[in-house]
């Protein structure tokens, strides 16, 4: 393996490796992690690559330490990430909240496996979605993407760093064992073609802020994101997980708390249009739409095409981003389409979200995990939905 | 064009590498889509090891091999385990010395391991098998496979492996080698 | 009748966030003393103030990060050391100090403590040991002596406490000392020493918590605890590490001093020659 930072070229690569290469191409120079199947290949790749390019691979003693070290590295200005799977994600939950509260950009890839508990360590799952969204205590908002191929892991890892930096928020990549381990073509562009969004930095040098000091948590009105000062920059900032005022100082008042937590939620909600990524197929004339993501979306695509071949007007809405949830988009779609099918490798996490948006129960194709859902049961659901729609029209 | 290919054998024969090389040749050096998957965990432990490649002219949605139409078996255990999953009309390639096929099964056999020993390195049996595969199936071109070997292996291993590939490619099997 | 003297300035103004005073520490609490020693050491260190970074966990001691005028990080309970590890490895030019309590560092964060010491990460750790969880109201913790009362050991603590210097020595730290809040000069000098010493350095500062440990164990105020420190502190010379246990309630010596001073190379992430930044 070469010491180049961006391995420009065509590769036959698994998703885990593509994640590490995406991160390195994005300028990630700190990885802190603890081995866990099926994400271990990410750590292994980093352990080989970081010493080649002047980055740091740090194997921590557990996932509590991994996420803390990643946040620390981010506070010092590094693009930093960790990789894990369900049990490790559970251990990271408290400090995911710290990342949200301190507004420290970072990337966490969760190669999901069959869960809960130790579950199916070597087999796929898609059931950490709600934990990612709600698992840390309190009200908060994060961003999460769900790639459907190794190429997309590569691309979304880069995007995740950009989003994390622009919005000062932890970004999760909710991948799964199928995508993490499958080997496919991954095309890595020239380094100049790798998009890079920089963190917003304080507009003036430290001296400018005088006696009062730089207000490290005073957001810009436009995007609700405060510029970030790093450890060693000279601004002498204070970061605390306690409720804090714009200066960053603890402020134990209900008003400040309400204002802060509301802003942290709002900065994601208000920028949702920028954060949401969707792929659609045949939506224009669709009678029934399958909503899916990650590895299951591959089967959903097959099922939709097969249904079309049978004369069923099926469409596909692939969620590339899971959080923030594309509520408005699905609400709008529900004006035109009456029938939805949600296909996911869990027992109904995203179906419940979809039902909340469309306002009525929808058909689900679910499996608790362990084996990727085959196109056939999705096609069956499409046939049943089509029959129902036809029945309704008669 | 659509094929589900399973390469199988026992641990240590380099089955995973063979699958990777084949997938890479198809995906990067032919104008095709290819996905390689391997069994992880409990299934992957124990005797039979396998690597699976789906290849198609179109994007591949479902990535797993379910009913291989091409099966390579380099051990008896792998043959016994995987042969029934492949269709009756599947193309089956075996290591002639290591696999005794079912009575009525028409296989194409090459003594890959013995030929590898002849080259001084038993470890290249997998690449000899790839050479044989290339010639026998026509799924992938010789050029693409040689490029995959050259681009993947450490430079000092390339000459031996190209030789192994050529040996397999040139081998003329006895069809229906069943006793 | 004495009159309060109000001074306009304090020698440590530059180091403290005076806009955050008054602090939250109770009367008679020892944390402020340890914090002052740290501030004085920063002042005398010759290292530019903007290169000093402090990281705390949660607890009364954890509040120190909020009072020093540095880039300062008040993190989560137990995670100060790994957070600081990330800062240090991402920017090795920084002098990163972890300032936290015995519960934070040795209970909930105990795993990070021993592993950071084992790796000999270049961190300076100041651990204020007040023998209990002060912040949450005086519960027993990993350093509470056997038999001592606490709000969660009403019949006396059934467990045996950590002997922190022994633990840190066994874990691989380069430098391990213990002092009490009576020993302000020694603490400051030791902090200066560890600023100059590579690798994982650990200073345990025994400290009063009159409202927590003190109240339940017949040490009614900070002054009384200082008196105990004065009467019973013994500079440990040739005392085996496993004999460094302390119990303020008994008429036993409180061993203080430097116990470990070695030069195992500090952790350095592997870098291949010719890599981008090596
Ligand atoms: C995960 C978690 N568990 C429990 C607590 C509650 N808590 C806050 S401080 C503290 C103990 C702190 O003790 P120590 O580190 O000794 O600091 P001291 O207050 O004695 O200085 C505890 C248990 C918490 N904040 N977070
Ligand atoms: S509770 Fe104890 S440790 Fe906390 S401030 Fe008061 S005296 Fe100090
Ligand atoms: Mg304490």
Question: Closest Cα to residue B26, out of B56, B63, B1?
Answer: B56
DSSP string, C213-265: IIHHTT--SHHHHHHHHHHHEEE-SS--GGG----TTSS--EEEEEEEE--PP
The pLDDT, as a whole number, for residue B178 is 45
Q: Is A309 on the interface with B (CB under 8 A)?
A: no
- Smallest CA–CA distance from C16 into chain A, residue: A236
Query: Shortest CB distance from B28 goes to which of A185, A299, A375?
Result: A185
- A120 interaction partners in chain B (CB closer than 8 Å): 41
C221 in a domain, yes or no? yes
* Domain boundaries A9-193, corresponding CATH code: 3.40.50.970
| Residue extents of the structural domains in chain B | 2-173
C33 in a domain, yes or no? yes
Q: How confident is the model at residue B86 (pLDDT cuts 50, 70, 90)?
A: very high
**How many interface pairs between A and B have CB atoms less than 8 angstroms apart?**
59
Question: Closest Cα to residue A120, out of B40, B100, C64, B117?
Answer: B40
C228 in a domain, yes or no? yes
C278 in a domain, yes or no? no
C54 in a domain, yes or no? yes
pLDDT in tens, A92-101: 999 999 999 9
Burial label, C189 (beta-carbon count in 10 A; 0-12, 13-18, 19+) = middle
pLDDT in tens, A329-351: 999 999 999 999 999 999 999 99
DSSP-derived letter for residue A193 is G
CA distances A263 to A161, A269, A274, C73, Å, are 21, 9, 17, 21
pTM over 0.90: yes
Residue B179 has pLDDT above 50, yes or no: no
Angstrom distance (rounded) from CA C51 to CA C49: 5
With a CB cutoff of 8 Å and minimum separation 6, the contacts of C71 are A229, A230, A231, A232, A233, A235, A236, A237, C50, C52, C53, C54
**What is the domain class of A279-393 according to CATH?**
alpha beta
The pLDDT, as a whole number, for residue A174 is 98
Q: How confident is the model at residue A287 (pLDDT cuts 50, 70, 90)?
A: very high
Q: Kindly list the protein residues whose Cβ atom lies closer than 6 A to any atom of ligand 2.
A: C 25-26, 29, 31, 60, 130, 134-135, 209-212
- B32 interaction partners in chain A (CB closer than 8 Å): none
Q: How confident is the model at residue C277 (pLDDT cuts 50, 70, 90)?
A: very low
Mean pLDDT over each residue of chain C, to the nearest integer = 95
| Residue extents of the structural domains in chain A | 9-193, 279-393
Interface probe for A, chosen from B20, B44, B63 (most Cβ of A below 10 Å), is B63
- A206 interaction partners in chain C (CB closer than 8 Å): 50
Provide mean pLDDT across the span B99-108. Answer: 96
pLDDT in tens, A255-279: 999 999 999 999 999 999 999 999 9
- List % helix, strand, coil for chain C (3-state, nearest 5): 35, 20, 45
Contact A302 B23 (CB under 8 A): no
Q: How confident is the model at residue B173 (pLDDT cuts 50, 70, 90)?
A: confident
Interface probe for A, chosen from B4, B27, B38 (most Cβ of A below 10 Å), is B27
| A9-193 and A279-393 have identical folds | yes
Q: How many domains does chain C have?
A: 1
Higher pLDDT residue, B177 or C8?
Answer: C8
Which residues span the domain enclosing C110?
11-261
Residue A1 has pLDDT above 70, yes or no: no
With a CB cutoff of 8 Å and minimum separation 6, the contacts of C8 are none
**A328 C-beta neighbours (distance < 10 Å), count:** 12
- Is the shortest distance between the CB of C130 and ligand 1 below 6 Å? yes
Provide mean pLDDT across the span B20-25. Answer: 98
Q: How confident is the model at residue C275 (pLDDT cuts 50, 70, 90)?
A: low
**What is the domain class of B2-173 according to CATH?**
alpha beta
Give the bridge partners for A56, in sequence order.
A30
C86 in a domain, yes or no? yes
Q: Is A24 on the interface with C (CB under 8 A)?
A: no
Burial label, B152 (beta-carbon count in 10 A; 0-12, 13-18, 19+) = middle
CATH number of the CATH domain containing C199: 3.40.50.970
The pLDDT, as a whole number, for residue A281 is 98
Atom of ligand 2 nearest to the CA of C25: 5
C267 in a domain, yes or no? no
The pLDDT, as a whole number, for residue B177 is 47
pLDDT in tens, B40-56: 766 566 678 899 999 99
Query: Which ligand does the CA of C211 lie closest to?
Result: 2
């Amino acid at each position: 393996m070469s010491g180049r930072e961006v391995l420009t070229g065509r590769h036959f690569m698994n998703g885990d490796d593509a994640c590490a290469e995406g991160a390195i191409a994005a300028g990630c120079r700190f990885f802190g992690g603890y081995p866990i199947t099926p994400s271990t290949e990410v750590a292994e790749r980093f352990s080989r690559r970081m010493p080649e390019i002047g980055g740091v691979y740090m194997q921590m003693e557990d996932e509590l330490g991994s996420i803390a070290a990643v946040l620390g590295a981010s506070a010092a200005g590094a693009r930093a990430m960790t990789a894990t799977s369900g049990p490790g994600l559970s251990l990271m939950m408290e400090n995911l909240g710290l990342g949200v509260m301190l507004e420290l950009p970072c990337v966490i890839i969760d190669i999901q496996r069959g869960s809960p508990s130790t579950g199916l360590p070597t087999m796929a799952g898609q059931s950490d979605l709600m934990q990612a969204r709600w698992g840390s205590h309190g009200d908060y908002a994060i961003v999460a993407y769900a790639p459907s191929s190794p190429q997309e892991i590569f691309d979304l890892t880069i995007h995740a760093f950009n989003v994390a930096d622009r919005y000062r928020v932890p970004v999760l990549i909710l991948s799964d064992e199928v995508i993490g381990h499958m080997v496919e073509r991954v095309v890595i562009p020239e380094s100049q073609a790798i998009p890079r969004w920089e963190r917003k930095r304080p507009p003036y040098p430290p001296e400018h802020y005088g006696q009062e000091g730089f207000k490290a948590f005073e957001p810009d009105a436009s995007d609700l994101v405060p510029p970030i000062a790093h450890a060693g920059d000279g601004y002498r900032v204070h970061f605390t997980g306690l409720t804090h005022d714009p200066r960053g100082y603890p402020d134990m008042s209900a008003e400040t708390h309400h204002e802060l937590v509301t802003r942290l939620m709002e900065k994601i909600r208000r920028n949702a249009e920028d954060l949401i990524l969707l792929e659609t197929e045949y939506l224009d004339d669709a009678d029934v739409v399958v909503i899916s993501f990650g590895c299951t979306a591959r089967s959903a695509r097959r099922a939709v095409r097969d249904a079309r071949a049978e004369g069923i007007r099926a469409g596909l809405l692939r969620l590339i981003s899971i959080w923030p949830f594309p509520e408005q988009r699905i609400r709008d779609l529900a004006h035109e389409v009456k029938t939805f099918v949600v296909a996911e490798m869990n027992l109904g996490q995203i179906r419940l979200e979809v039902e909340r948006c469309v306002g009525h129960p929808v058909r689900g194709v679910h499996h608790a995990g362990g084996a990727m859902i085959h196109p056939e049961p999705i096609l069956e659901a499409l046939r049943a939905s089509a029959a129902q729609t036809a029945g309704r029209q008669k | 064009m659509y094929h589900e290919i399973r390469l199988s054998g026992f641990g240590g024969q380099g089955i995973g590498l063979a699958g990777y090389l084949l997938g890479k040749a198809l995906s990067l050096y032919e104008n095709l889509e290819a996905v390689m998957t391997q069994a992880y965990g409990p299934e992957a432990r124990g005797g039979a090891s396998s690597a699976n490649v789906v290849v198609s002219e179109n994007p591949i949605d479902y990535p797993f091999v379910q009913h291989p139409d091409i099966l390579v078996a380099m051990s008896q255990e792998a043959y016994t385990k995987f042969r029934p999953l492949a269709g009756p009309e599947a193309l089956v390639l075996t290591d002639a010395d290591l696999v005794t096929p079912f009575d009525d099964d028409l296989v194409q056999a090459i003594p890959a391991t013995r030929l590898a020993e002849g080259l001084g390195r038993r470890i290249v049996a997998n690449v000899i098998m790839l050479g044989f595969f290339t010639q026998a199936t026509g799924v992938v071109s010789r050029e693409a496979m040689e490029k995959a070997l050259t681009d993947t292996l450490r430079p000092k291993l390339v000459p031996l492996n190209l030789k192994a590939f050529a040996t397999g490619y040139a081998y003329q099997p006895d069809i229906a080698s069943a006793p | 009748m004495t009159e309060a003297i109000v001074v306009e300035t304090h020698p440590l103004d530059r180091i403290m966030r005076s806009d955050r005073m008054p602090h939250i520490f109770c009367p008679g609490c020892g944390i402020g003393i340890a914090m002052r020693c740290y501030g004085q050491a920063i002042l005398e260190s010759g290292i530019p103030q903007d290169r000093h970074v402090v990281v705390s966990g949660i607890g009364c001691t954890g509040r120190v990060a909020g009072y020093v005028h540095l880039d300062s990080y008040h993190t989560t309970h137990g995670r100060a050391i790994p957070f600081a590890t990330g800062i240090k490895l991402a920017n090795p030019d920084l002098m990163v100090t972890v300032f936290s309590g015995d519960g934070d560092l040795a209970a909930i964060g105990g795993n990070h403590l021993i592993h950071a010491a084992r790796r000999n990460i270049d961190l300076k750790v100041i651990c204020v040991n007040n023998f209990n969880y002060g912040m949450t109201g005086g519960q027993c913790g990993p350093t509470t002596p056997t038999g001592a009362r606490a709000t969660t050991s009403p019949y006396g603590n059934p467990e045996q406490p950590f002997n922190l210097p022994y633990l840190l020595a066994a874990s691989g730290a380069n430098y391990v000392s213990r002092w009490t809040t009576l020993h302000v000069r020694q603490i400051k000098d030791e902090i200066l020493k560890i600023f100059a010493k590579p690798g994982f350095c650990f200073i345990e500062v025994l400290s009063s918590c009159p409202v927590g440990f003190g109240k339940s164990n017949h040490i009614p105020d900070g002054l009384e605890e200082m008196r105990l420190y004065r009467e019973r502190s013994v500079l440990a010379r040739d005392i085996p590490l496993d004999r460094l246990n302390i119990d303020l309630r008994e008429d036993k010596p409180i061993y203080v001093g430097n116990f470990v001073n070695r030069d195992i190379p500090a952790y350095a992430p592997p870098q291949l020659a010719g890599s981008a930044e090596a």
